[in-house]
Structures are given as C-alpha cells and as structure tokens.
Amino acid sequence: MSPAAASPRGPQTLPTPDLLHLEAELSAEERERLHAINDHLQAQVRHQSVDAWNKEELPVHLLPGLAELGLGRLAQDGGSRLFQGLVHTQIARADVSLSALLGIHNELIVGTIAAFGSEEQKQTWLPGLKELRQLGAFCLTEPEHGSDIAGGLATTATRDADGWVLNGSKRWIGLGTVADLALVWARDTADGLIKCFAVDTSLPGYAATKIEHKMGLRIMQNADIELTDLRLPADALLPGAASFQAANGLLKDSRAWVGWQAVGAQQAILDIVRDYALERIQFGRPLASFQLVQQVIAEVAGNLAASSGMMAQVTRVQDADELAMMQAALAKSTATRLARQSASQARDALGGNGLLSHYGIAKVMADIEAIHTYEGSYHINSLIVARALTGVSAFVS
C-alpha cells in the first residue's frame, strides 16, 4: 500500500485496512507478531504468488517461510481467537489460495487430529503437520453429494478381522494430490454412522487426480479421490470422530473462518483499488480525484468495515462457546457476498487493466467466487439462516 499520497495540503498518512482498529484489542505481543506476519506476507507472498496462481501450481518454496511464522500451528499455539482471525485475514490479503490452504490445514486437519485423534495419531501426525513438513487433505465432499453430504454420503467403511476397508469417491478435495494424510469421512456399513479415518496417502487403494482449469483458488490443488478396497488398520479410526456430529462442529467453526478470509480479500481489494487510483493518471489527474472512483473506494471501505465488525463479534460469541450454525452461516454468507460486490466494483474501476491477473483485482475477484461457494454455498448458508429464524426448513428431506 502506498504510505502517503499528495493532497492540496501536502503528504498525508493513509489509513490502514484495519478501519475499525481491531488490532488495538490484541495484546502487545500479538500485535507485534501480527505485524511480523503481515510484513512477510506482503514482501514474500503477495506478488510472488501471482505466477503460481496463473500456472495453477502450488508454490512449495513459500511453505518454509510460512512455517517459520508458526502458520502451520496457528490454532494450537495459544493465541486469542481474534488474533487467529486477523492472521487469517492477513494471509487472505496476500493470497486467498494460500489462505484456503492454511485455513483448512489449521481448522480441519490439525484441528481434527488434535480434537478427535488418539494419542498415537497425534504423535504420528501433528509434529510434521504443525511445521508444514507434511500436508493433509479433508475428504468429505463427494461427486454426487455436496450440500446434502450429511444424509447422502456414499463412501463406505467396512470392518473385518484385519481392520477397515474403504471404498468410494471424493471430489473437490484440497491438496488431495500432494497430501501425506487424508482424513476420510466414510459411512460404517455396520451401524450407518459417518466416521473419520486417518489415511496414509501412500497406501494402495488411494488415488488422486488434480482438478484443472479452475477460475479461482488456482494455487490450491483440488482433486478427485478414488478409494478402492483401501485397507486400514483398526486404529485408523479417529476415536473422537465416530459420528457426523464431530464434523458438524468442525464445519461450524470453519464457516466462521471463511468470514475472516472474506475480510482479508476485501482488504486486498481496498489496497489494490486505492493504490491504482492514486497512481493512475487520466486527463492529467489521478483517478482518485474523480467522484465515481471515490464512490467505489468508499463503498469498498464500507463493506470491509461491516464485515470486520461482524467477524469481531462472531469471535466474541466463539469465545463464549455460544456460536450457533446459524451465526456461522450468516457470517460466511454475508462477508463473502460483500466481498463479491466490492471485487466487482473495484474491477470496473481499474478498467481494462482490471482484467489482468498481475494487477491483482482479477485474481482476487476469481478467488472470491470460490470462497463464496465452498464451506456451504451462499444459498445453502442463507437457507440455514432463514430456517433458524422462521423454524421452517426449505431443505427437501
């Protein structure tokens, strides 16, 4: 972000994207750490990620630097929920794809093992995961079951004398082609319950194929997974995840995390459109001097402030252990909707240059399309909210 800009009264310091001063609520130590993380992300990730995004590649060379900042164990190192949320914001501000990778890693991989794994599973997997030396894949969604996964999940787990045998297909699985660990949700053929299994992806019977030509989150390596007579030992079952209730709790917090992603994406939008408006000269004047462009900047800032304030309050509700699925769905759907609106306005403000990924806004705009859809699509989350408010379900049973 440009530190200053010319004005009729001389240089001035411009506000940071933290428009509501949420950082002020952190401890001094957390603020210092947040600033160090942000400095690294802006200097070493924001612009460096563009080429990998264009090529649909995972920039593995960036992972050691992220690990050194503790971003592989963010949810496990004692930081406040607000600090964690603001870190996820800064990651998304630099690159939304990497924020998806690190958010899923912390919320759904490390978080699942830490909360529901056996002591042996924790000792086996957590050290490598926390240092990003190993990566995980959360295998829930299926080719024919997305929004209706709770009732429709078709992947099976059958117990026999030697352990478990898994069969089925999964789709849209982040890092499925590169993960060392797959957390596979499958239906026990004996009791019909959905359970979670820790799967070493080097085992015979696990096959992953990269999904290519995505318009958004192009750094995230999504995959189709085929599980064919995959044999697991009896202790591959996560003891604390022996029903879908465990997944529901994870997905509730994960939806809230996507709200922070949307805040970070909106911070990136404000960075991009403001910098461009100050630097781009048309008719002998910077674009920032034109009323229509100023209107875009003001509306982008308003959407960002509304999303930031909402997510700060969501964090307070989480701290009280009172977050309901309705509130998580409301946060996710609203923040991503506002991000989508801001991206469209900012893209238009950049004119033809807004179509080019290296100017930033086209990349952010495409990534927002993905977060608007995953972790429960916008419309599914809207129906969850309306069901809670009316007591009437629009879902077909």
CATH of the domain at 314: 1.20.140.10
State pLDDT tens for residues 269-324.
999 999 999 999 999 999 999 999 999 999 999 999 999 999 999 999 999 999 99
The boundaries of the domain holding residue 194 are: 136-242
Residue 1 domain-assigned (yes or no) = no
Pick from 372, 391, 396, 394: nearest CA to 383: 394
Q: Are strands 206-210 and 222-232 parallel, antiparallel or unpaired?
A: antiparallel
Residue 203 domain-assigned (yes or no) = yes
The yes-or-no verdict on residue 216 having pLDDT over 80 is yes
CATH of the domain at 145: 2.40.110.10
- Lookup result for tokens 């080097």: 202
The yes-or-no verdict on residue 205 having pLDDT over 70 is yes
Q: What per-residue confidence (pLDDT) applies to 93?
A: 98
Q: What per-residue confidence (pLDDT) applies to 12?
A: 67
Structural domain count, the chain: 3
The arithmetic mean of pLDDT across residues 172-189, rounded, is: 97
Q: What per-residue confidence (pLDDT) applies to 245?
A: 84
Half-sphere exposure of 209 (CA within 13 A, CB side): 7
What is the token pair recorded at 83? 């600090």
3-state secondary structure the chain: CCCEECCCCCCEECCCCCCCCHHHHCCHHHHHHHHHHHHHHHHHCCCCHHHHHHHCCCCHHHHHHHHHCCCCCHHHCCCCHHHHHHHHHHHHHHCHHHHHHHHHHHHHHHHHHHHHCCHHHHHHHHHHHHCCCCCEEEECCECCECCCHHHHCCCEEEEECCEEEEEEEEEEEECCCCCCEEEEEEEECCCCCEEEEEEECCCCCEEEEECCCCCCCCCCCEEEEEEEEEEECHHHECCCCCCHHHHHHHHHHHHHHHHHHHHHHHHHHHHHHHHHHHHCEECCEEHHHCHHHHHHHHHHHHHHHHHHHHHHHHHHHHHCCCCCHHHHHHHHHHHHHHHHHHHHHHHHHCHHHHHCHHHCHHHHHHHHHHHCCCCCCHHHHHHHHHHHHHCCCCCCC
Q: What per-residue confidence (pLDDT) applies to 246?
A: 82
Pick from 143, 223, 146: nearest CA to 179: 223
Q: Indicate whether 259 and 377 sit together in one domain.
A: yes
The yes-or-no verdict on residue 10 having pLDDT over 50 is no
The yes-or-no verdict on residue 8 having pLDDT over 60 is no
Q: What per-residue confidence (pLDDT) applies to 260?
A: 97
Q: Indicate whether 366 and 284 sit together in one domain.
A: yes
State pLDDT tens for residues 64-117.
999 999 999 998 988 999 999 999 999 999 999 999 999 999 999 999 999 999
Residue 172 domain-assigned (yes or no) = yes
State pLDDT tens for residues 12-68.
688 999 999 999 999 999 999 999 999 999 999 999 999 999 999 999 999 999 999
Residue 141 domain-assigned (yes or no) = yes
Pick from 11, 50, 396: nearest CA to 219: 50
State which of 110, 130, 150 marks the end of a domain. 130
Mean pLDDT score across all residues of the chain: 94
What is the token pair recorded at 109? 């991989």
What is the token pair recorded at 42? 């802006």
Position 201: which residue type? Answer: T
The whole-angstrom separation of Cα 102 and Cα 105 is: 5
Who wins on pLDDT, 373 or 396?
373
State pLDDT tens for residues 219-276.
999 999 999 999 999 999 999 998 888 878 888 888 999 999 999 999 999 999 999 9
CATH of the domain at 72: 1.10.540.10
What is the token pair recorded at 347? 């893209």
